[in-house]
Amino acid sequence: MSDNDHRIKKVSIICAKGTIEDVYASLVMGNGAVMEGMEANLFFTFFGLEAVIKNRMDNLHTGVVGNPAMRLPGGMRMPTWMGIIPGMEAMVSGMMKKEMDKLDVPPVSEFIELFVAGGGNLYACKLAADMFKLKKEDLSEHVTGIITVGEFYELAGGEGSQIIFT
Amino acid sequence: MAQKTYAGVTVDVNDEGYFNDPSQWTKEIAAEIAKEEGLSLTDKHYEMLEYLRNKFNSGEQLTIRGINKSGIVDVKTFYQMFPGAPLKKSTKIAGIPKPTSCV
């Protein structure tokens, strides 16, 4: 291999937040990596764990309170106070999922299956799992293990490897 | 515009080797592109190439989810059939443009 080969060969992506957009950012990047023939690890920590908890992974929401980038249908800025209207978060989250489905972006559980089928690996953070009292059986069967930060760094190493925090 | 000769036919390709004119493609050509990529094609490969070409011809986006739903092979097998970058490699062999989808 030449010294000029600066291609990325492995990515290890950390997902620490549990909103639709944060989780999908990690999944799209991870799945994109395996589709390009790279090795890919996804590491879920803190609220990012929502994406791998069996009975919650397909029910993620987008935050509407304190999200100044939120727009109303038609493009007008959504006044931030509207975020507190009951049902607003569920409605916006439903719309997000509908729009993604139109682009053939799969639900979280299906996306994870595609990622794993492509050779990607999933890990959960031990500290966060302990804190949220989560056990292996609470998590998707595709999660390889609940690991420490040290173990994460170990498997993230190697030539042409990158760590991404979404 | 670059040109390449496969199975005795000269075809127009772009810098990355993707066909500019998908109608120039034949099964014999596919076998030669595959050989360049280090693959030998089975019936399943051809079935998948047909699927990809049909999707392209009907103007649909090619996605990994679509492959899974194609009913031809599951995604895991697809990755094994076209190792490395499966969607890029398979579309190249199928004589259609490189997919522009992120999923």
Q: Are residues A114 and B68, on separate chains, in Cβ contact within 8 Å? A: yes
Catalytic residue among B15, B100, B102, B103: B102
Fold of the domain built from segment(s) A11-165: Hypothetical Protein Ychn; Chain: A, (3.40.1260)
Locate the domains of chain B by residue range: 2-93
Contact predicate A19/A61, CB 8 Å: yes
pLDDT surpasses 60 at A2? no
Locate the domains of chain A by residue range: 11-165
Q: What's the Cα-to-Cα distance from A70 to each of A92, A96, A156, B97, rounded to whole Å? A: 9, 11, 35, 35
Show residues of chain A in contact with B64, CB under 8 Å.
31, 35, 114, 118
pLDDT digits (tens, 9 = 90+) for A58-70: 999 999 998 999 9
Cβ contacts of A19 within 8 Å, gap of 6 or more: A60, A61, A62, A63
Decide if B102 is catalytic.
yes
Task: Determine the pLDDT at residue B54.
Answer: 97
Q: Are residues A117 and B74, on separate chains, in Cβ contact within 8 Å? A: yes
User: Among all residues of chain B, which has the CA nearest to that of A112?
Assistant: B65
pLDDT digits (tens, 9 = 90+) for B53-87: 999 999 999 999 999 999 999 999 999 999 999 99
- Chain B closest-CA separation from residue A110 CA (Å): 9
Q: Which of A104, A117, A118 sits opposite B63 (nearest CB)?
A: A104
Q: Are residues B74 and A118, on separate chains, in Cβ contact within 8 Å? A: no
Show residues of chain A in contact with B75, CB under 8 Å.
113-114, 117-118
Structure ipTM: 0.92
B64, B82, B102, best to mutate vs chain A, most A CBs in 10 Å:
B64
Angle value at C-alpha B17, between B27 and B71, nearest 5 degrees? 50
pLDDT digits (tens, 9 = 90+) for A6-49: 899 999 999 999 999 999 999 999 999 999 999 999 999 999 99
Show residues of chain B in contact with A114, CB under 8 Å.
64-65, 68, 75
